[in-house]
Amino acid sequence: MPSCDFLIIGAGVIGLAVARELKRRQPAASIVVLEKEAAPGLHSSGRNSGVLHSGLYYAPGSLKARLCRQGALEMADWHERHGIALNRCGKILTPLDAKDAPRLESLYARALANGVRVERLDAQSLRELEPETRSATGEALWIPDAAVGTPAAVLKTLANEVRQAGVELWNNAELARVDLVARQAFLKHGERVRFGYAINAAGLHADSVARQFGLGRHYALLPFKGLYWKLKAEANLCIRHLIYPVMDLRTLTLGIHTTPATDGAIYLGPTAVPAFGREHYQGMRGVRPVEALRMLRDLARLFLHDSEGYRQQAWQEGRRYFRRGFLDAVRALLPNARAEYFTPDAKTGLHPRLFDQRRGALLQDFVIEQDAHSLHVLGATSPAWTSAFPFARHLCARIEHPATTKAEATDEPDF
């Protein structure tokens, strides 16, 4: 039976970044990465928008705030060192309603607190920078360091690097169960592997993996589906930047925004409508009845208790699932947009949010649980892709020095 010092479950960007960092710190260590699919990055890591977030949304002092800005710098550097396309387009945040003025001020203050470069724009400056959008208050924010990368290419180069460093990457290797006493992982097709320490970076399945280790019992993932539309090449709109509406900081739902991709395409989206399966991309594929009922129950709790303003979010996002509601949201951001300019795109992502079943609330920060022989990344939601490299260092420090880093759990969540 094969054995390894470190077993990493999940070959998304976090799992691969942790494998890379562990190998740097402990070159002689044997590392196996389990990936249940035929290749890395076929779910959240490879399907995300590619936006390198700047870090202005997150509560000062939270783990996301501490990691995101540095992560964006390192992820941009990774693109450039490996010749991967990167669009350094910058981001505009604009209020679509006069009542959003206090939120704009809050975002400006957070940007300064988190060390993010930010500039105020008046109506004239906004018109010169991005004439296609509007501001209900005459002001907007400009974040020049925001960019859009190429997730699939990053995953490919990262997987190649860890393989060359001596990490074993097992594809089509789905975890079935764990023997905690013998420290053995049993795979779906009958294989076994003995491990010294396990790292759970299973993304959309992280909560169910954690429960096999006896951790994360009061957490459950709620996936939200991100649907996109694409600007037709012949459309009479010239969009040069990421353009975001001012968001409600209680929910961290970004709203319908523009993403100028590295291939020249302009995407509008995504939605944030509930999915009823961890891999529920379209139709009924990926829906399991028992799990779907659990998700419905948790969503009902959110709605009834109006946690983090979820009722308003549910109303807005529910309308945007349909063509008319989606296009209404687009026109609020881009007044000159016409329905014939856009077409639905096959691109679909799932945004996993961690639900605390004790509190009946969605958590906003990364959540990590740990014991003597395992560590679990339970809430690796956005900006996990942006933050992957410093996040990997943070996780490896917790693995190597659990006594000195355990106190950081009090920062997670700091909501």
Instruction: Among 179-193, 239-253, 301-315, name the most confident range.
Output: 179-193
Instruction: Among 78-92, 312-326, 358-372, name the most confident range.
Output: 78-92
Give the residue-averaged pLDDT of 175-180.
97
Q: Is the pLDDT of residue 408 over 70?
A: no
Output the pLDDT for position 74: 97
Q: Is the pLDDT of residue 60 over 70?
A: yes
The closest alpha carbon to 34, from 166, 209, 202, belongs to 202
Q: Is the pLDDT of residue 33 over 50?
A: yes
Give the residue-averaged pLDDT of 66-87.
97
pLDDT per residue over 185-232, tens digit each?
A: 999 989 999 999 999 999 999 999 999 999 999 999 999 999 999 999
Give the residue-averaged pLDDT of 366-372.
94
Q: Is the pLDDT of residue 252 over 70?
A: no
* Domain co-membership, 280 together with 314: yes
Output the pLDDT for position 250: 67
* Domain co-membership, 266 together with 388: no
* Domain co-membership, 248 together with 313: yes
Q: From CA 245, how far away is CA 53, in angstroms rounded?
A: 15
Task: Let me know if residue 73 belongs to a domain.
Answer: no
The closest alpha carbon to 212, from 171, 184, 240, belongs to 184
* Domain co-membership, 135 together with 229: yes
* Domain co-membership, 209 together with 198: yes
Q: Which residue has the higher pLDDT, 358 or 406?
A: 358
**Whether 4 contacts 168, CB under 8 Å:** yes
* Domain co-membership, 225 together with 330: yes
For 112, other C-beta atoms within 10 Å of its C-beta total: 13
Output the pLDDT for position 251: 62
Which band of pLDDT confidence, cut at 50, 70 and 90, is reported for residue 78? very high
The three-class DSSP label of residue 90 is coil
* Domain co-membership, 225 together with 349: yes
* Domain co-membership, 246 together with 383: no
Q: What is the pTM of this model?
A: 0.93
333: domain range? Answer: 88-146+221-360
Give the residue-averaged pLDDT of 273-289.
91
> Can you list the alpha helix ranges (DSSP code H) found in 53-197?
63-81, 101-113, 123-129, 151-164
Count of domains in the chain? 2
Give the residue-averaged pLDDT of 108-135.
96
Task: Let me know if residue 55 belongs to a domain.
Answer: no
The closest alpha carbon to 273, from 220, 324, 222, 226, belongs to 226
Output the pLDDT for position 415: 22
Dihedral sign, Cα of residue 302, residue 306, residue 307, residue 312:
positive
Residue labelled with tokens 């856009």: 342
Q: From CA 109, how far away is CA 123, in angstroms rounded?
A: 20
Q: Which residue has the higher pLDDT, 347 or 28?
A: 28
Q: Is the pLDDT of residue 407 over 80?
A: no
| 342, 351, 362, 398 from 395: Cα distances, Å | 42, 21, 22, 5
Which band of pLDDT confidence, cut at 50, 70 and 90, is reported for residue 379? confident
Instruction: Among 157-166, 225-234, 241-250, name the most confident range.
Output: 157-166
pLDDT per residue over 312-355, tens digit each?
A: 777 777 778 888 889 999 999 999 999 999 999 988 988 889 99
Task: Let me know if residue 60 belongs to a domain.
Answer: no
Q: For the chain, give the mean pLDDT.
A: 91
Which helix (H) or strand (E) segment holds residue 258: the answer is strand 257-260
Output the pLDDT for position 171: 97
* Domain co-membership, 118 together with 238: yes
Task: Let me know if residue 192 belongs to a domain.
Answer: yes
pLDDT per residue over 258-278, tens digit each?
A: 999 999 999 999 988 899 999
Give the residue-averaged pLDDT of 141-145.
97
Residue 142 is part of a domain; what is its CATH number? Answer: 3.30.9.10
* Domain co-membership, 305 together with 156: no
Residue 375 is part of a domain; what is its CATH number? Answer: 3.50.50.60
Q: Is the pLDDT of residue 411 over 70?
A: no
